[in-house]
Structures are given as C-alpha cells and as structure tokens.
Amino acid sequence: MNFDEYRGVWIFIEQNDGKIEGVSLELLGAGRKLADKLQVPLGGFLLGSGIKPLAKQVIAYGADEVYMVDHPVLKQYRTESYMQGVMLLVEKYKPEIILYGATPNGKDLASAVATDLVTGLTADTTMLDVDVDSRLLEASRPAFGGNIMATILCKKHRPQMATVRPKVMKALEPDSGKVGKIIEESIDLKEENMRTKVLQIVNDVTKKANLAEAHVIVCGGKGMGDVQNFQILYELADTIGATVGGTRDVVEAGWLPHELQIGQTGETVTPKIYFAIALSGAIQHVVGMKNSDLIIAINKDPNAPVFDVATYGIVGDALEIVPKLIQQFKQLQSEKGGEVSYAREI
Amino acid sequence: MHIVVCVKQVPDTKIIKINPKTNTLDRRSAPAILNPYDAHAVQAAVSIREKTGGTISVLSMGPPQATAVIKKSIEIGADRGFLISDRAFAGADTLATSYALSKALEKINKEMPVDMIICGKHAIDGDTGQVGPGIARRMDIPPVTNVIEVSEVNLEEKTVLIKRKLSNGYELIQAELPCLLTVEKEINQIEYSPMPNMIKAARYEPVIWAVSDFENVDRSQLGLKGSPTIVGKMFTPPRPEGGKKIEGSVDEQVNQLMDILMEKKDVLTLQSSK
Ligand SMILES: Cc1cc2nc3c(=O)[nH]c(=O)nc-3n(C[C@H](O)[C@H](O)[C@H](O)COP(=O)(O)OP(=O)(O)OC[C@H]3O[C@@H](n4cnc5c(N)ncnc54)[C@H](O)[C@@H]3O)c2cc1C
Ligand SMILES: Nc1ncnc2c1ncn2[C@@H]1O[C@H](COP(=O)(O)O)[C@@H](O)[C@H]1O
C-alpha cells in the first residue's frame, strides 16, 4: 500500500430528507483543524437523492471540496446501497482520514465500509488530533477501565477512520461567501438488486429530543439512594423548567428509561445549566456532559471526580440540599405572587 | 429456519471496581458474564423459533472459559453452541474478530445453511458495535442494525419485517433472508429459563474449534496481527481546573447557589406554584 497516494481529510455528511445532521457540521469544524495541520483539503462527501442543493452548506461550514453521489436508490439510507457509493468515492479519490458521526446510520456505514476497505475504525471518539510528522490520526475515547482515555492509531492501513460522538466537536460559523469545488460521481444501482427495503420511517420525537434540546438538565446518580429519593429531582426539575436525566447506574437500576441516560453509551448533552447530583463523574459520564455551559455538582465526597468538571461544586448531602433549593425557588415564586415566569432563551 | 447468534463473554461493568490509585480497572473484581445485548439476541432467536421452528446455534470466540456464555445461551433456549478458541485469535480488534467469526460461520453454514445471524447491538466492554456489520459484509448478506422488533418472518418468500431504531424514531424494513440483525435491549425481556433448559445447559459441552479446524484461513488476518487498530497511549484526560467550591453551612451553600442561579434566571422557567 502506497501511503502517499492517500491525501485529504473527509467527512461523511449525513442527511435525512435533505437536512444535514448536526454532527456532520460539527465534524466539518473538527476536520478543518486536522486538514489545516496536515495542509490538505477538507472534503465532505454525501449520498442521497436530490441532494445537490446541500453542497453550498457543506462548503460554508468549512469544506474545500464536496463529493456527491446522487441516485434515486440512495433516497433512504441503506447499508448496501450507501456503502457502494462510499467505496466508489474512496477508491477513486483516496482520502487519508475519514470521519463519520456516531449516529445509528454513521456507525452502521463506517463498520461496513471498514470491512471492505480492510482498514481500522475507532468507535465513538471524543477527542481528535493528528500527528503531523507521521500523519497519524489520533482518535481518543474513554477506555474500558477507569477514568482514562485511550488513543487509537491505525498505522499500517489507509484510510484511517473513526466515528465521532455528536455534540463533542464544534461547528464553525458558516461562511456563505466561501467557495469550493463540487465533484459528482455517477453510480449504477438498481432497486431490484437491493436486498433490503425501507417501507416506512416514523419520527417519534417525544421521548429523547427533550434531553438533547433542554436548556437546563437535572442529572441524578446512584448516590440518590433509591427510586423514591430520586423523585425529588423531578420536583426540582418541575420547579425550574428542567429535564431529568441520569447516569448509567441509575438506568441499570431501573429508576429511569435508557433514553434518559447521559454519557458515552447514552446521550451527549450541552445545556446552559447542568446539575450533576449524587453522581461520581466517571469518564464515561463526563464525556456526555462536559460541554455544558454551567455545571453545578452536588456530592458528599469531596474527592469525587465530578468536581473537576464542575463550574461550582457543593460538598454535601443531596437529600438535604435539593429540598432546600426547591423550597427557595417556591418561596421566590410565591413572594412574587406567582408572576415570575421567564421566557426561555433560544 | 437456522439462526446463529454471536455471543461474547464480557466482564460485568456494573460490578467492576476501579482501583483509585492507578485509576484502572481491577479485573479480578469483575465476574465474567454473557454480554447483556447478546442475551437479548438469543431471546430474540427463541421468539422467532417459536413461530417458524428450526434450530438456534450460538457462536462465540474467546478463551476456554467462554463456554460459560454458551451454556448460558442454552439456558435461554439455544439448541447448540460452538466456541472458537485459539492463541492465534488473541488480541483481535473488530476487523479481526469479524474475520474469525465469519470463518466459523462458513463452516457452520456448510453443514446447515444459515438463514439469519443475530448479534448484540454492542459488547459492553469495548462498545463499538462494529462486529455485526463486519460479519454481514464478510458473509455478503445485508445487515440491519439497532433492531427493536422482528414482526414477521416469511419462510416462503424468504423475507423478514424489522423495526430499526433511529436517532428520533424508527423505520420499518423488509429484508431478504439470509440477513444479519443487531438487536437493542428493548427488543424483548429475558424470560426465566425453563427447568429442562437449565438441565440441558448444565450438561452441555459445546463444540470447540481451533484455527486448524478451518479451511482457507489467512492467518495474517487473525488476532493481533490482523488488527489494524492499536492502542497508542493511555492517559488521564487533562484535568480541568475544577470550579469554585461553595462553602459554608447547608443554608449558606443553598443561598449562594440561589445567587448563581438567579444570574441565569433567563434560562430557567419558574413554574408558578399555588
Ligand atoms: C463501556 C462503558 C460505558 C459506560 N457508559 C456510561 C454512560 O453512558 N453514562 C454513565 O453515566 N455511565 C456510563 N458508564 C458507567 C460509569 O463508568 C459509572 O459507573 C457510572 O457513571 C457511575 O454512576 P453514578 O455516578 O450514578 O454512581 P456512583 O459512581 O456509584 O456514584 C455515586 C456518587 O454519589 C455520591 N453520593 C452518595 N450519596 C450521596 C448523597 N446523599 N448526596 C450527594 N452525593 C452522594 C457518592 O459520593 C458518589 O460519588 C459506562 C461504563 C462502561 C464500562
Ligand atoms: N468474541 C466474540 N464472539 C462472539 N460474538 C462476538 C464477539 N465479539 C463481538 N461479538 C458480537 O458482535 C456484537 C457487537 O460487538 P462489538 O462490535 O465488539 O461491540 C456483540 O454483541 C456480539 O454479538
């Protein structure tokens, strides 16, 4: 394998119904830094049907080049058709690095493509860098085993690939004046050759979207003791207009449904205010919340790792502090005759 | 209908202890269990077999102790199990794992054609979720990941109807058999194992294969040698400075916290209470 043939950083632009997923724009931001360091172009590649209007947006968010495969069979995501498109592009243009959002479709596609390309794929990355001399992608993720991160490398194969967690990288401010190159490839796909069919797509935004979009989150941990005590977090959340989430231990204990788990194997969130209550702050949890604007931690143990990421920390008993906090808010409201109602900032 | 379920033995991350001095996992403290998602995969196969009849085989790659997860799968309702165990498999990443498992699947398929392969959504130790789609590519069958329901299996038409979970909702997919599914936990509840299964499991001895039992295997694609990804370094993430500690009595702490929150009151939606 001649490594010098492989040049450029590529981002998989995931689109659904003609709308680009947020994580793809975040990855263009992260990819821009890597491409600048390596002094190579940043490419975005997208597949679908009728997707040409999206190219401008991909460029505005940082890409120098947009690679497109537009075909009716690609209308809905399917592993078998999408991977054919990706293989075609990658084998022809040979990027050295490819990043995908760690969404259901992004992970599915990347896993299939890595197998056919016979190359390495790092899952659920939360930190990215590149070593300029060796041109190696340094993809880091929480390691199984304590509060440590592992950097995964792929030395002997190209392209180097990783899936990256949504909401941990930052998108650039779009620049609508930016110019870029658009490259289109045609593909020969036939619906009758497809072994899977998407019959229906059902959007059910009720459950989880509120965590992802919440401005204020009250997240509780196993230290709440039991499911009864956990209920006071709902009371706090109701009082201030917040959404409740939990750690994996809380979900495993059955106090909350999995949709409300925050962290590496749950949701990544970036609210304006994050209450981390009676949770230790394990690395797998922290990667899902550390980009919140204001983090308030309440924990009995002064050495709990959560205090390292908290903006403000209170060493104390949550079962004592939270009820008092609720009471204060309630009192404030009654003093103002129940008129204190603030509109949410968008 | 012949279903093969891929099952992995993993340390129980719920019970696992972290050594506070070294900040690493204390492996001795971790009992080995059947990957929880794989238990759901076996259960899903059992539910399908109830409708279609047929055979459920389970396949695992791991050290000899991994026979325990095959026995566990028999308890849930699998009919038979295969363990592939060999030094040459050690240190495999997801690419090398899917290669080794696909070699075993080819062997199983020769003896009894496989209609469906089921994997867990991910293994809780590495949690990559990459092995399932990898196997599907190697066997050249379509993968359907994140499955939450298998609603219909049509043996005449050789198709299945599947619900696949998406970021915000689900999609209904029709796939041709054979295909590979990876399943989410919500696909089913693990039922209590009936007594005859327990007895069968206790006595069961899985078939164990080594590399030498496979035909046309490229040893350079196995284990550590066949793994393109390597761990470069391990590090404790740069410690952010940590914020201010709010000191004082409980009441003082709460008052200070109120002051901080009131500065941000525009993000709060205070509910008026009676
Ligand atoms: C592969 C893998 C993936 C994982 N993914 C996730 C994930 O997505 N999300 C996640 O959260 N975890 C995840 N984990 C688990 C993670 O490592 C931790 O085990 C988990 O986050 C701990 O949950 P906890 O903080 O609620 O419980 P604990 O670690 O038990 O912490 C409880 C805390 O509460 C404090 N406390 C006790 N009583 C009180 C009180 N009365 N008042 C105040 N404080 C009190 C204690 O001091 C302690 O710090 C994952 C682990 C692995 C191995
Ligand atoms: N060593 C193994 N033996 C059998 N099945 C495995 C093995 N590793 C992974 N799998 C299967 O692949 C799924 C995903 O694993 P992973 O990609 O490691 O998260 C698991 O739920 C299993 O079904």
Q: What is the CATH number of the domain that holds B209?
A: 3.40.50.620
pLDDT at A66 over 50: yes
Give the mutation candidate from A15, A73, A80, A108 for the B interface (greatest B CB count, under 10 A): A108
Query: pTM for this one?
Result: 0.88
Whether A338 sits inside 8 A of B126 (CB atoms) is no
Q: Which domain holds residue B136?
A: 2-221
Contact B154, B42 (CB under 8 A): no
How many Å lie between the alpha carbon of B66 and the closest alpha carbon of chain A?
20
Q: Residue A344: what pLDDT?
A: 40
pLDDT at B236 over 90: no
The encoded tokens of residue B43 equal 């259960």
Spell out which residues line ligand 2, taking CB within 6 angstroms.
Answer: B 6-8, 35, 37-38, 41, 60-62, 94, 97, 101, 119-120, 122-123, 126-132
Residue B168 lies in a domain: yes
pLDDT digits (tens, 9 = 90+) for A195-222: 999 999 998 766 555 788 889 999 999 9
Query: Which of A256, A297, A252, A254 has the alpha carbon at shortest distance from A279?
Result: A297
- What band does B16 get if pLDDT is binned at 50, 70 and 90? low
Ligand 1 atom with the smallest distance to the CA of A304 is 49
Q: Who's near A151: CB < 8 A, 6+ residues apart?
A: A138, A139, A140, B231, B232, B233, B234, B235
Residue B135 lies in a domain: yes
Residue B237 lies in a domain: no
C-alpha B123 – ligand 2 centre gap (Å): 6
Q: In whole angstroms, what is the distance from residue A171 CA to residue A11 CA?
A: 13
pLDDT at A336 over 90: no
Spell out which residues line ligand 1, taking CB within 6 angstroms.
Answer: A 144, 221-223, 247-250, 261-266, 278-280, 282, 284-285, 288, 298-301, 304, 317-319; B 13, 124, 127
Instruction: Find the mean pLDDT for residues B206-233.
Output: 95
Element (H, E) at B101: helix B94-111
Instruction: Find the mean pLDDT for residues B17-45.
Output: 80
How many Å lie between the alpha carbon of B154 and the closest alpha carbon of chain A?
14
Q: In whole angstroms, what is the distance from residue A199 CA to residue B173 CA?
A: 6
Residue where the block lists tokens 């325990």? B68
How many Å lie between the alpha carbon of B82 and the closest alpha carbon of chain A?
24
Q: How many domains does chain B have?
A: 1
Q: Residue A207: what pLDDT?
A: 53
Ligand 2 atom with the smallest distance to the CA of B37 is 21
pLDDT digits (tens, 9 = 90+) for B154-209: 999 999 999 999 888 899 999 999 999 999 999 999 988 999 999 999 999 999 99
pLDDT digits (tens, 9 = 90+) for A183-198: 999 999 999 999 999 9
Q: Residue B31: what pLDDT?
A: 83
Strand partners, A162: A99, A122
pLDDT at B53 over 90: yes
Q: In whole angstroms, what is the distance from residue A330 CA to residue B274 CA?
A: 9
Ligand 1 atom with the smallest distance to the CA of A250 is 26
Q: Who's near B48: CB < 8 A, 6+ residues apart?
A: B1, B3, B116, B150, B153
Strands (DSSP E) contained in A35-143 are 42-48, 65-70, 97-101, 121-125, 127-131, 136-142
Q: Residue A346: what pLDDT?
A: 36
Tell me the chain B residues in contact with residue A156 when contact means C-beta distances shorter than 8 Å: 228
Residue B152 lies in a domain: yes
- What band does A26 get if pLDDT is binned at 50, 70 and 90? very high
Element (H, E) at B182: strand B179-183
pLDDT digits (tens, 9 = 90+) for A274-290: 999 999 999 899 999 99
Residue B266 lies in a domain: no
Strand partners, A19: A16
Residue B82 lies in a domain: yes
Window from A205-209, A249-253, B115-119 with minimum mean pLDDT: A205-209
Task: Report the first-to-last Cα separation within chain B, whole angstroms.
Answer: 62
Residue B184 lies in a domain: yes
The encoded tokens of residue A215 equal 């401005």
Of the bound ligands, which one is closest to the alpha carbon of residue B60? 2
**% of chain A with per-residue pLDDT over 90:** 83
Residue B149 lies in a domain: yes
What separation in angstroms does the CA of B27 have from each of A143, A144, A305, B8, B218? 14, 11, 21, 17, 32
- The vertex-A252 CA angle with B126 and A319, nearest 5°, equals 125
Tell me the chain B residues in contact with residue A111 when contact means C-beta distances shorter than 8 Å: 94, 128-134
Instruction: Find the mean pLDDT for residues B18-29.
Output: 62
Mean pLDDT estimate for chain A: 93
Q: Residue A132: what pLDDT?
A: 97
Q: Residue B168: what pLDDT?
A: 80
